[in-house]
Structure 1
Amino acid sequence: MGVLHYGTDSKPIHIGDRALAHLKMVIVAKLRRQESFTVSWQHPDEDGTGRSTIWLHPSIPIRFEFDEPVAPELNRAWIEELAQSANALGGITLVAEQVGADVDDAQTDLADTGETSVPVG
């Protein structure tokens, strides 16, 4: 289980390593372009019902922490889906990865082009 730390005194946000790796690609691309945006997710069942949204801004510290020492292969379709939602009025909505989607080593390609949504928990 990965952790997203945002700001200096915020509560850690627990996200599965695979989802966090994909989300990281989108967030880094947006922040690199000095863009502010929101990220929203549904709370995991063990935390009860509800949802949360955070406002991301390039001047606020962010840290991605992963349990797994090796980064997973990335799914280009999932990253593109997250990127499309990032550019929408509502910001990124973390959605589950589609089963059967092609897994691709998209990390280098997407980071270079600036291309950039899953229940958390």
Structure 2
Amino acid sequence: MGSMYYGGMETVIHIEDRALAHLKVVIATKLRRGESFTLSWRHPDDEPRGRSTVCLHPSIPLRFVFDDPERPALSRQWIDELAASANSSGGILLVDEHVHTGPVAISPETAPEGAPDGSPTSFSG
């Protein structure tokens, strides 16, 4: 679980590391351009029910802290979705990453060893 510290906020904003890494890209881009915007999220299950919004401004200090020392691979689609919401009147709405989890068809030419020849093979991801 990562953390975001904004200005003089006494309360730390806890966000899962992967989501925070994606948010960092979008937030840093907006702030480098001198743009103000809001960031909204639903409270995690271990906090009181509800949602919060902060107004981000380039002149207010911001720090990201990640629990995992390794950078995760980033999803261009998720960054694009977050950036689109950042450019809307409602600001960034932290949404879950959309990951394709349906079956993936494997052709006989690309089937892993041990797969039946000539028959379609699928794996759930």
TM-score calculated relative to the size of structure 2: 0.78
The answer for unaligned runs of 5 or more in structure 1 is 102-121
Matched with 1:15 is: 15
The separation in 2 between residues aligned to 1:36 and 1:9, in whole angstroms, is: 17
Q: In the comparison of the two structures, how many residue pairs are matched? A: 101
Cα pair distance change 1:47/1:9, threshold 3 Å: closer
Letter aligned with residue 43 of structure 1: H
Residue 28 of structure 2 is aligned to residue 28 of structure 1: yes
CA-based RMSD of the aligned residues comes to 1.1
User: Which letter maps to 1:92?
Assistant: I
Aligned residue runs from structure 1 range 76-95, under 5 A: 76-95=76-95
1:10 to partner: Cα distance: 3.1
Higher strand share: 2
Which structure carries more relative contact order (alpha carbon 8 Å, separation 6+)?
A: 1
What code does the residue aligned with 1:100 have? H
The residue type equivalent to 2:31 in the other structure is L
- 1:9 Cα deviation (Å)? 3.6
1:96 match = 96
- Specify every segment of 5 or more residues in structure 2 that has no aligned partner in the other structure, as ranges: 102-125
Which one has the largest radius of gyration?
2
Moved over 3 A (4+): none
Q: Secondary structure at the match of 2:95?
A: coil
Aligned residue number for residue 111 of structure 2: none
Q: Following the alignment from structure 1 to structure 2, what is the Cα–Cα distance between the partners of residues 81 and 70?
A: 23
Question: Percent identical across equivalent pairs?
Answer: 62
**What is the distance in 1 between the residues matched to 2:73 and 2:9?**
31
Name the one with the larger helix percent: 1
